[in-house]
Structure 1
Amino acid sequence: MIELFDSPYDEPLPSADVLSEFQPDMRVAFILMDKFTLAPVTGLVESLRFAADQSFRSHQLYCRWDWITINDEPILASCGLSINPTKAFDLHSLKTEYDYVVLAGGLLSETRQPSEQLLHVVKEVHAAKIPLIALCSSSFVLGNAGILDGRKCAVHFAIRDEFMRRFPKAIALVDKSYAEDKGVFTCPGGIAIDLAANLIRHHCGDVRAQKGLEYLLINNEKNWFNPHKAAVFESPDIYENALVSKAIAYMSDNLSAHVTLKQVAEYARTSPRQLHRAFVASTGEAPANYWRKLRLEHARKLLSNSNIYVTTIANECGFSDASHFILWFKKQYGETPYAYRKRRHGVDMLKIIKSI
């Protein structure tokens, strides 16, 4: 008999067969370097753990991860904690089985001059177009591999000067909790929960991202999805095409206005046809779809952080009426605005705690 809990995240305990055959939405390999910093690794993996199933049993269903060391030996964190690898090192596996490869660094003595083997691994993974995530000082490893040339890189203020001397072709940022540039993520330290939440949101959806934030007691969302702190997926500055960036900025300033794409093109000093081509090349989407997503994201934030009527939100976000807004919101987020607001505002943490 399956035991059910009174929790908004309940699910039955899956059988062993289901666990072995289930295809996750997100797979992550952590390559741990000697004296790695524990905090960002913990923030990232704990967020994955909460997103990995609907309940709190820590089954690796929707998210899976492995601990890997280059020599297959246990590794010490900078605080002295010893971690045993859970999977043998295999370069082919790193290039074919994971959505992200995380390089966990820490003390500069271990990352200033990485081994040739590690540099080879990083270059091979990058060449295979697997996104790399550099935590803490492992940005030095990416710099030594030449991967950060011409890319934005979030670094800690304490090591910025040395980083810029060593890697003058990289674009060092000290005011971001993380940055993403063409599939390369850099996180200067901290607890990396905002990075984790955006990765989970991208792969697993808003519900699983929010689940981790709520249980980790990160309840004020605007502090964790702040464009001034992090270069998130939807940020206009990730696109190098000046025309696209200009158009997105105009769209963002006119979310509630009934402005046509022709007017957007005129503002960007181009034609609608050229605007469409530029958007598809830079974002993979038509400008109308991108603009709709901007409006829906703005609506989602209003639902989360205010008690404004849904009809009013629809109008403020540029939709013709509430029905039109509800239709597109459900298509984008898998639930109605009413259900989203109820879940976001009405989670009873005592019930969640009872379900553990």
Structure 2
Amino acid sequence: MKPQRTGRGRAARDVLVVLFDEVQSLDVTGPVEVFTGATHAAGTPGYRVRTASLDGTLVRTSSGLTLVPDGALADGPAPHTLLVPGGHGTRSSDPRLTDAVRDIAPRAQRLVSVCTGALLLAEAGLLDGRRATTHWMFCEKLARDHPEVRVDADRIYVRDGHVATSAGVTAGIDLALALVEEDLGRDIALTVARHLVVFLRRPGNQAQFSAQLAAQTAQRAPLREVQQWITEHPASDLSVEALAERARLSPRHFARAFHAETGTTPGRYVERVRLEHARRLLEDTADGVEEVSRCCGYGTPEAMRRAFVKHLGTGPSEYRRRFRTTR
């Protein structure tokens, strides 16, 4: 089959999405909506999306939805992009599915996985010697079961040559938008992002989860209120003594209770919230480093620089520069 041409004379990119029982439906529909939306926004057939299961039969997603594939994996032209979504089905996949993905991969110009789809790519030997990521809950499994894969657990997506892997669910949308920007330009990607009401600003090196998601939510109302206070007032006095007073507990009792219910110490939680807030200001504003450090409770630019180097391996100014070059 000859590749379809766009109005500008460019070939439409065939995207083949692999379907299987117990697939995560959002891992499928998120990228599919991005690619089809980009085609509509461009006014040309920029992408031609095809879904396929092993035998072309219906699949049941992990949420119970039934998806109807366009055909079987063995049929159809070689894809430009082979996309493997995640879901429970990747953890106990049919060996025939692994073989099918392994067979198709050499004929694809780009390999993409969403969430635990990386496990299937790794099982097929397609991530050997490459950097990759997956849902944070399965990064350890990926590294343990496939030591030849260099797992980067703190990225929402990772590009290594023609292979791109992403973290859970919404990270697949971020990666798909990044691919659209690469293929069709930033204006098209931005149009799709606006239509889907998502941000076109998360680069692949952004952490998978925020301080609030990384820590557990406290069960007791006073401790939950303190967590919220920390998030909303990073520049305030967030010492254990000040936070304990807000929770109406002694400092020792507060520190023990906070750790027991959130899984982290008050100091580490404050540190992560301040770092996260500083990163957002550096990404979204033109405020200087000194002003950002003051707004985030660091006190001095040097204190903020030490925090950035400790957790991110780079200073605030360099972090801002890298962020803007990856947008």
Q: CA deviation at 1:199?
A: 0.7
Report the counterpart of residue 181 of structure 1 in structure 2. 160
Closer/same/farther in 2, CA of residues 69 and 226 from structure 1, 3 Å limit: closer
SS at match of 1:123: helix
State yes or no: 1:48 paired with 2:35: yes
Distance in 1, Cα, partners of 2:10 & 2:74: 21
Q: Which amino acid aligns with 1:156?
A: H
Is the Cα contact below 8 Å between 1:49 and 1:60 reproduced in 2? no
Distance in 2, Cα, partners of 1:60 & 1:89: 26
Aligned pairs for 1:134-213 within 5 A: 134-191=113-170, 192-213=172-193
Is the Cα contact below 8 Å between 1:51 and 1:200 reproduced in 2? yes
Is the Cα contact below 8 Å between 2:134 and 2:165 reproduced in 1? yes
Distance in 2, Cα, partners of 1:227 & 1:88: 35
Is the Cα contact below 8 Å between 2:15 and 2:81 reproduced in 1? yes
Q: Which amino acid aligns with 2:56?
A: D
CA-to-aligned-CA distance 1:79-109 (integer Å, 9 cap, x gap): 1110111234325x35x3x2101112301xx
Q: What is the TM-score when the length of structure 1 is the normalising length? A: 0.52
Question: How many pairs are equivalent?
Answer: 208
Distance in 1, Cα, partners of 2:178 & 2:41: 18
Is the Cα contact below 8 Å between 2:158 and 2:204 reproduced in 1? no
State yes or no: 1:90 paired with 2:77: no
Q: CA deviation at 1:229?
A: 4.6
Is the Cα contact below 8 Å between 2:41 and 2:192 reproduced in 1? no
Distance in 1, Cα, partners of 2:127 & 2:183: 25
Distance in 2, Cα, partners of 1:80 & 1:60: 34
Match of 1:106 among 78, 87, 100: 87
Distance in 2, Cα, partners of 1:106 & 1:199: 22
Report the counterpart of residue 242 of structure 1 in structure 2. none
SS at match of 1:136: coil
Distance in 2, Cα, partners of 1:104 & 1:216: 19
Q: CA deviation at 1:139?
A: 1.4
Q: Which amino acid aligns with 1:214?
A: R
Closer/same/farther in 2, CA of residues 182 and 226 from structure 1, 3 Å limit: closer
Distance in 2, Cα, partners of 1:79 & 1:60: 34
SS at match of 2:41: coil
Distance in 2, Cα, partners of 1:156 & 1:47: 20
Is the Cα contact below 8 Å between 2:181 and 2:189 reproduced in 1? yes
Is the Cα contact below 8 Å between 2:128 and 2:148 reproduced in 1? yes
Percent identity of paired positions between Structure 1 and Structure 2: 23
Aligned pairs for 1:1-356 within 5 A: 25-54=12-41, 61-90=45-74, 93-94=76-77, 96=78, 98-107=79-88, 110-191=89-170, 192-219=172-199, 221-222=200-201, 224-225=202-203, 227-229=205-207
Give RMSD over aligned pairs.
3.1
SS at match of 1:33: coil
Misfit runs of 4+, over 4 Å = none
